[in-house]
Chain A
Amino acid sequence: MQLANKRKGSSLTVMLTGELDHHNAADIRETLDGMLDGSVKDLILDMSGVTFMDSSGIGIVLGRYRRMQERDGRLYLSGLGGSAEKILRMAGVLGLVERK
């Protein structure tokens, strides 16, 4: 999985490309958290390039949701589709996290 980020003011968009599973979840989590400097208020995860996601993705998204809440920021999801959307909906994540 590859992560590319784009910064605009206090919002950070991270585009995820490739497969998200248990094997790479820890790396993805670390990379994402490493991108969050103190000035990021809005974190937008662009999921349009995610070709595979299992339940490991629920943990990644919910973990970032909590992290952004702790710092009075917000998490948004964009480009959701396919099984990623199906899984996040099942887990109730789409009721918590706004879409952009």
Chain B
Amino acid sequence: MGVNMIQNHMELTFDSISQNESFARAVAAAFATQLNPTLAELSDIRTAISEAVTNAIVHGYSNNPAKKVYMSCEIQGNVFEATVIDEGKGMENVSLAMQPFYTTMPGTERSGMGFSVMEAFMDGLVVESTPGRGTKVVMTKRIGSVGDDE
């Protein structure tokens, strides 16, 4: 166990354009490397961030490039937490939206598995949404405490 507990926080605001999906997941992964994660853990974080950011752009903002996506990441001890916020259209029924294979865009080869991926790849997922106001997704992941001898 580490004697000194790491605490750190970062915030990022970016335009709602699909180029920023890879940018956002790279930033989150770079920030998380402070916790010395395994490659598999980093890959899980990249994937989950990509899902949340893509949803903000595609669903929240309907690809409107004038809108902004807000991402913040936090480290508390060995827990990584990421928050992705949009001020877009929001959801009426969050628990319905989170069901596997539920999608409101079936014609575009979206599979409705984004929330399921976030849930499976992270340890915690909390989604808050207000129709007409926007959506906030908070994900946490505990980075393995074994093998921290480096």
Contacts and interface: CB of A to CB of B under 8 A. Distances in A.
Q: Do A and B bind each other?
A: yes
Contacts of B113: 55, 58, 87, 90-91
Interface of B: 18-19, 21-22, 25, 40, 43-44, 46-47, 50-51, 54, 57-58, 108-111, 113-114, 116-117, 120-121
B134 to A, nearest CB: 19
Interface of A: 19, 21-23, 25, 29, 52-56, 58-60, 62-63, 82-83, 86-87, 90-91
Contacts of A87: 47, 113, 117
A87 B58 CA distance: 20
Nearest to B50: A54
Contacts of B19: 23
Secondary structure of the B side of the interface? helix
Per CB-CB distance, the 3 closest pairs between chain A and chain B, nearest first, are: A59-B109, A23-B18, A58-B111
Contacts of A21: 18, 21-22, 50, 54
Contacts of A23: 18-19, 21-22
A90 B120 contact: yes
Given A22-B21, A29-B109, A58-B111, A52 B58 contact: no
B58 A22 contact: yes
Contacts of A55: 51, 110-111, 113-114, 117
